[in-house]
A and B are shown apart, each in its own frame.
Chain A
């Protein structure tokens, strides 16, 4: 027998509610019930990082969370990063560095990089590698991803400097 409940949470700044079943995972609900396909389902074991989202500002693997856990939380997905047509500096940096081939892992990487830079605006190579250890790129665009992190960090620092 399945349990059904209505969950209410904030999704990319908008208050939403949805009827979900107990066994549904967050990534399934985001992709199927909210049509947000940027969060990718891949390994379903918390190994690959493709489904990384923020729940209450913390990055988590959305394949390892039941949708019911979202009740009352603040959720941000890759779709919530851009401001209208203006991409987030991290998104721009990934394009500038060409930090992908197939792009399947990219949204997870961008979410993780953005979170890293919010805590540490000037990370060392080692700090970048440690933080991105939970994200896999099967095309192996790692050197370009490292470049993208540095471009994004430089962008963020110059924006911070320009502020009065």
Chain B
């Protein structure tokens, strides 16, 4: 099918974009278009107005702010993929981005677009949850920041008003030498994952886990931080048995059920993916 007829707006500044969103009825924001364009092509959405952020100045950057990497919402996935800073400070994101779509779509797709689209199986969404990202949102009432954990309110529904825009994502970096692992199960490489897992591990001088982050993607309406499994692992010496126990906790979640993938299958995948992500992360830990 073809996209429906709509009016197109390409503001040049953030202020102009916010003002348009406040004024226009039934408008959709177009960032990189790699989710919105398929939805327009399939006519899942029928906006009267499309507001394209492609020509808004100053929304695409990757900056080091010491403890975190700060990424502009319109930063293309390709630029994340090839960023030496991301590779060095956010190796989990560097790994996960390779499973995001394909080279063709990463050349257009943006991190801000993916987070606002908020598909629960999207890699950048899972990584934002795993890293405890902070979002900066701009609207007619000014700027506000929000922990990523408060961003999803329902299935593919972000906590953002129709006249607001996500402008920046702050991704805290873990200390040098931490272990990381992102694994997913999709029917084809590049497809949205049926289940994914992101793991981060920090090990102290005595060989025990000092800090752990474990997130499941694709299994529920929003990414799931597995705090119970994280608490189980902290203070323990990492080994196969511990990761198996953490995986078993992941296998007891209330997973989504749909026509193609039953919840029981998602639960099994959650257990296996989380264990694999933890094993991968452990193998990459550099002991202090």
A interface residues (Cβ-Cβ under 8 A, vs B): 1-3, 21-25, 28, 44-47, 49, 52, 58-61, 63-66, 68-69, 112, 115, 129-131, 133-135
Contact = CB atoms under 8 A, between A and B. Distances in A.
Given A69-B54, A133-B102, A134-B101, A63 B37 contact: yes
Nearest to B98: A130
A58 B103 CA distance: 9
B3 A65 contact: no
B107 A64 contact: no
Contact of A134 (B40, B78, B104): B104
B8 A3 contact: yes
Interface of B: 1-8, 10, 30, 33-34, 37-38, 40-42, 50, 52, 54, 78, 98, 101-105, 107-108, 188-191
- Majority-rule SS of B interface residues: loop
6 contacts: A45-B38, A46-B38, A58-B107, A64-B33, A65-B108, A66-B8
Contacts of A24: 3
B5 A60 contact: no
A109 to B, nearest CB: 12
B11 to A, nearest CB: 14
A161 B42 CA distance: 48
- Among all A-B residue pairs, the 9 with the closest Cβ atoms: A134-B102, A22-B8, A64-B37, A44-B41, A45-B38, A23-B3, A133-B189, A58-B107, A61-B104
Given A46-B105, A64-B108, A2 B42 contact: no
A46 B101 contact: yes
Given A59-B103, A134-B102, A64 B34 contact: yes
